Amino acid sequence: MSEQRAENVFVSKHPLVAHKLTILRDKETKPKQFREVIFEISSMLAYEAMYDLPLAETTVETPLTTAKGWVMQEEIGLVPILRSGLGMVEGIQNLIPQCEVWHLGLYRDEETLEPVIYYSKFPPQIDLSYCFVLDPMLATGGSAIAAVDILKQRGVAKIKYLGILAAPEGIQALHQAHPDVAIHVAWVDERLTTAEDAERGLPPGFIWPGLGDAGDRQFGTTDA
């Protein structure tokens, strides 16, 4: 189950999530296994995040008689932030194969650490009222805030953020900009890397201790 913490943050307490997160952190984990574990954790986080989906009552014919049942009322959109968010899509589609997938390309300017939009693909008319923003790492929070800004401008009423790791700075930034957006993650780490860390050769604005660059590790574009 998830535990609701301050500021609309839900951190998974499932032992399997903790176990699989450890695999992601390990620098020896290869891209194929890394992608598989992202798939698995994403499924579990989405399962927990969908606890409040509204249902409509219905009746079905069983082999013996009729039975009362329930069907989802909401249609759901998934918005992976390219490129690392792509790895989270399939795990959630396994649970809700009817969901729509929209794509949003953002990259972080390495000097300003601000998000830059380079691609977006949404339907001309958005009829869905429920969306998940998918990004494994909530670091500075800039990309998540930009994604939520865009969705709200397009009229999406209910938005949740799903990620693997978060830094306290990213949580604070996203909550301050959009306090209504629930944040569901596998774990909250200690902090972001600082200027002092950069002097030691570490990249600035990364989650510490983290797991590195989730996109590079999924797609094999890291030097490690």
Which DSSP string do the residues of the chain spell out, in sequence order?
A: -EEEEGGGEEEE--HHHHHHHHHHH-TT--HHHHHHHHHHHHHHHHHHHGGG--EEEEEEE-SSSEEEEEEE---EEEEEEETTTHHHHHHHHTT-TT-EE-EEEEEE-TTT--EEEEEEE--SS----EEEEE-SEESSSHHHHHHHHHHHHTT--EEEEE-SEE-HHHHHHHHHH-TTSEEEESEE-SEE--HHHHHTTPPTT-EES--S-HHHHHHT----
- Out of 108, 154, 191, 197, the active site residue is 108
In a domain, 113, yes or no: yes
Q: Is 213 a catalytic residue?
A: yes
Q: Is 58 a catalytic residue?
A: no
Whichever domain contains 129, its CATH number is 3.40.50.2020
In a domain, 62, yes or no: no
- Out of 58, 112, 194, 221, the active site residue is 112
Expressed as residue numbers, the domain containing 16 is 2-54+69-219
Tens digit of pLDDT at every position of the chain (224 positions): 344 445 699 999 999 999 999 999 999 999 999 999 999 999 999 999 999 888 999 999 999 999 999 998 888 999 999 888 999 999 999 999 989 999 888 777 767 767 788 888 888 888 887 899 999 999 999 999 999 999 998 889 899 999 999 999 999 999 999 999 999 999 999 999 877 777 777 777 889 999 988 989 999 887 54
Q: Is 108 a catalytic residue?
A: yes
In a domain, 111, yes or no: yes
Q: Domains in the chain: how many in total?
A: 1
Q: Is 189 a catalytic residue?
A: no
In a domain, 63, yes or no: no
pTM to 2 decimal places: 0.89
